[in-house]
Structure formats: structure tokens, C-alpha cells
């Protein structure tokens, strides 16, 4: 069986079950589910040699769809988090900066808060921040990452 025939056969036999699974996994969102299934088939086409070598092409398609769904969920969660952060930023804008320094500086430590503030609000690059603090670029990136993680955890706890 040739490449096109295999993919066409899989599409005919598996599209509906894959779509049902994707709709369930994506909480009933029919449009996202359809996109996920189409992306899974696009991946199958791009990796047709791997698919053809698989002893279980149907299982390969299902696993590919699961990976696409995971990526879709991550993207959706990031978008929700960004929207929430933007909404929170609107609320924060009404508060004076000195009060923000007091509130958020205590959450991650004043030095880490200042680092994040300069990075996010003053748009300084990691290289500029590292030079100003006498740190390596990697050490500065790690400090930013840790501070973001602490703040994210704090905001997630506030939503619960």
C-alpha cells in the first residue's frame, strides 16, 4: 500500500472516532477538536515514513492526536493566563507603584521583584540586567525564571 492510500484509508476509518475523542478531551469545543484532528493528520503526512513503519498505524494516529491535544491545551491555558494577567494589570494600574512594590516585593523577595519589574515594565534585556547586577546571562535568566514561578504560583492560589 502506498503512502497516499494508507493516509486516505486512515482518514476514512479514523476521522470520526478521532474527532469524538478530541471533542471529549477538549471539553466539547468542536472547532478546536476539528483543528486538532486535522493537525494530527497533517503531522501524519509530514512523518509518513514513520507512520508507514509503525506496526500499528491506528495507534500511532491516536498517540499523535493526544500530543496535539496536549499542545492545544497548553496554548489555551497560556492564553487564559495571559488574559487574566492583562485583566489583573488593569486592576494594578489603579494602584500606586509604591503600594505594588510593598505587595509584590514581599512575595518573591525585593531583589527578584526589582529584577522582574525592570525586565517587564522597563523593557530591559536580560543582558542589560545581568551586566547591571554583575551576573552571568544564565544566572540572570534563572533568577527571572524563579521569580516568575513564585508569582505565578501566588496568582494561581489567589484564583482558587
- The predicted structure's pLDDT at residue 73: 87
Residue 74 sits in the same domain as residue 118: no
- The predicted structure's pLDDT at residue 132: 86
- In the chain, pLDDT over 90 holds for what percent of residues? 39
pLDDT band at 103 (very low <50, low <70, confident <90, very high): low
Domain span holding position 72:
3-83
Q: Which of 39, 55, 83 is the last residue of a domain?
A: 83
pTM: 0.53
Radius of gyration of the chain measured on its C-alpha atoms: 23
Count of structural domains within the chain: 2
Residue 22 sits in the same domain as residue 59: yes
Amino acid at each position: 500500500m502506498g503512502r497516499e492510500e494508507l493516509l486516505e484509508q486512515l482518514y476514512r476509518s479514523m476521522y470520526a472516532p478521532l474527532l469524538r475523542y478530541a471533542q471529549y478531551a477538549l471539553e466539547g469545543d468542536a472547532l478546536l477538536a476539528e483543528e486538532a484532528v486535522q493537525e494530527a493528520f497533517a503531522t501524519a503526512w509530514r512523518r509518513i515514513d514513520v507512520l508507514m513503519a509503525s506496526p500499528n498505524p491506528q495507534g500511532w494516529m491516536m498517540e499523535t492526536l493526544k500530543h496535539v491535544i496536549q499542545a492545544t491545551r497548553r496554548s489555551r491555558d497560556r492564553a487564559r493566563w495571559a488574559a487574566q494577567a492583562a485583566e489583573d494589570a488593569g486592576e494594578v494600574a489603579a494602584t500606586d507603584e509604591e503600594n505594588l512594590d510593598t505587595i509584590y516585593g514581599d512575595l518573591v523577595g525585593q531583589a527578584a521583584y526589582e529584577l522582574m519589574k525592570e525586565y517587564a515594565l522597563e523593557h530591559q534585556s536580560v543582558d542589560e540586567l545581568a551586566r547591571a547586577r554583575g551576573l552571568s546571562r544564565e544566572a540572570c535568566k534563572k533568577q527571572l525564571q524563579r521569580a516568575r514561578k513564585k508569582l505565578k504560583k501566588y496568582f494561581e492560589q489567589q484564583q482558587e
